[in-house]
Amino acid sequence: MSFSRRAFLDRTMKVGGLSAAVTLSSGGLERILAASRDMEGVPPEEAARDELFWGQIQQAFQIDRSIINLNNGGVCPSPAVVHEAFKRYLDVQNMTPSLWMWRYLSPGKEMVRRRLAETVGCDPEEMAITRNASEAMEIAQFGLEFEPGDEVITTDQDYPRMITTWRQRELRDGIKLCQFPVPTPPGNKLELARHFEQNITPRTRAILMCHMVNITGQIYPVREVCDIAHRRGIPVLVDGAHAFGQTVFKMRDLDCDYYGTSLHKWLTAPIGTGFLFVKRDRIKDHWPLMAAADPKADNIRKFEEIGTHPAANINAINEALVFYHAIGAQRKAARLHYLKLRWAERLTRHDRVYLRCNLDPTESVGVATVGIEGIEPAALVSHLWNKYRIHCIAIGHKDIRALRITPNVYTTPREIDMFTNAMEDVIKNGLPA
């Protein structure tokens, strides 16, 4: 570590009151930026283990440390810099909403569009701002034109809301949803791509797939499936709820047709934020979910016709992106992978422990599921909460009965070890009667 960095960290950590005041006023962003500058040139895998650096990130969140939150897969807290900005925008918009919100804050959405597009490598004119992944994916799913008898294919591990959306189209439009099983954990991503290919029929008109599956953490081969689908003229709709903010990718490399995500998960933006990417040549013919003045317009904004919208939430996405880039996308991915390995490598030394995803960094990042043979996952979740105030969830899928463990950048290695110790105690002694 450089002298300037150590001196800077010592100074900011020791000057108690003053540093607290700085943290409150800026959310500690300047300390993260300084720490990041010192990390320049350090390989992400090495940076992932630098506890001085991650100490800065941990302090940027004002969270409840009386619990250990290993359920960031549901929804994530925002760091102070984002939360403070969100509250500031709310205060401003409330002064005279018809002026301060509509006239001054709402145009900030265009900056969000540009920043998101730059982050994921697409044209801003392909980027619609939504309230979450559900809204984004439903715009994609309901806007496609189908004939009765047309088929859409997806796995039996895709998210329930996207499944119910197709089910509604089955009832209204006479389409058919075909779900196929996938091996868990798979040998590798290419094996998964073959499953998609084998399930395409002459009636297949769309493919829905997750970029990262929420119940296992497995990363799916989006590019390979897109190549297979596009050779047959089939569009691919990607549910990226867990991938954006965890994995590093560019839309042009994925080459999918639609990509929806929430931003209140891994980007740590305010709750009620998401985006939908629509490939340029698909915008014109895609129906908006809520009617637009010209539903056949070649304008991505037609997918944002929800009426008066929450400008404060949307504008604070700007701060979330600044925070994300201040950490560094590669560094964040490497840290989440490191935290996952820290518990998974220790627990898998025990014969009764099973995992439901592949641990390689190209196959999963921070989300992973784990179980102990002979122990009911829901009972284990209750035990971890009641005895240790460790918060996680049980997955109850027909093929996956396990605990989903999802730390975040604010999670300390010590917290991970407390979870691992608690699990080892159960492996040794079982659950209390």
Ligand X SMILES: Cc1ncc(COP(=O)(O)O)c(C=O)c1O
Calculate the dihedral angle through the C-alpha atoms of 56, 59, 61, 67, rounding to the nearest 10 degrees: 120
- Residue tagged 């996405």 (tokens): 317
Q: Which is nearer to ligand X, 58 or 72 (CB)?
A: 72
Bridging pattern class, strands 393-396 and 401-405: antiparallel
Q: Which of 205, 242, 286, 331 binds ligand X (CB under 6 A)?
A: 242
b (16+ CB within 10 A) / e for 300-309? bbbbbeeeeb
93 binds ligand X (CB under 6 A): no
Shortest CB 271 distance to ligand X, Å: 8
Q: Of 238-246, 276-284, 294-302, 340-348, which part binds ligand X (CB under 6 A)?
A: 238-246
Site string for ligand X, 269-308 (x = CB under 6 A): ----------------------------------------
Among 48, 112, 206, 210, binds ligand X (CB under 6 A): 210
**Smaller CB separation from ligand X, 134 or 411:** 134
70 lies in the site for ligand X, by CB under 6 A: no
Number of residues in contact with ligand X, rule: CB under 6 A? 11
CB of 152 to ligand X, least distance (A): 16
Contact between 128 and ligand X (CB under 6 A)?
no
Cα separation, 108 vs 310, whole angstroms: 12
CB 255 within 8 A of CB 227: yes
- Which residue in 71, 132, 216, 218 binds ligand X (CB under 6 A)? 132
Please report how close the Cβ of residue 5 comes to ligand X at its closest, in angstroms: 37
Least Cβ distance, residue 186 to ligand X (angstroms): 17
| Span from 17-25, 149-157, 181-189, 239-247 in contact with ligand X (CB under 6 A) | 239-247
We find the least distance from the C-beta atom of residue 139 to ligand X, in angstroms, to be 12
Nearer to ligand X, 328 or 407 (CB): 407
Asked if 134 is part of the footprint of ligand X (rule: CB under 6 A), the reply reads: yes
Yes or no: say if 190 and 140 are a contact pair by the CB < 8 Å rule. no
Distance CA 215, CA 221 (A): 17
Part of the chain binding ligand X (CB under 6 A), chosen from 116-124, 128-136, 298-306, 373-381: 128-136
- In the complex, least distance from residue 345 CB atom to ligand X, rounded to whole angstroms: 25
Asked if 326 touches ligand X (CB under 6 A), the answer is no
Residue among 215 and 355 whose Cβ is closer to ligand X: 215
Least separation, in Å, of the C-beta of 393 and ligand X? 10
148-187 binders of ligand X (CB under 6 A): 159, 161
Residue 80: CA count within 13 A, CB half-sphere: 22
Q: Which is nearer to ligand X, 262 or 268 (CB)?
A: 262
Contact string (CB under 6 A) for ligand X, positions 8-27, x = contact: --------------------
* Residue partners of 48: CB distance under 8 A and separation at least 6: 331, 334, 335, 337, 338
Among 23, 154, 184, 214, binds ligand X (CB under 6 A): 214
262 binds ligand X (CB under 6 A): yes
Q: Smallest distance from the beta carbon of 31 to ligand X, in angstroms?
A: 30
Q: Which stretch binds ligand X (CB under 6 A): 3-11, 31-39, 132-140, 302-310?
A: 132-140
Residue placing its CB nearer to ligand X in the complex, 161 or 203: 161
Nearest residue (CB) to ligand X, 5 versus 161: 161
- Using CB under 6 A, list all residues that contact ligand X: 132-134, 159, 161, 210, 214, 239, 241-242, 262
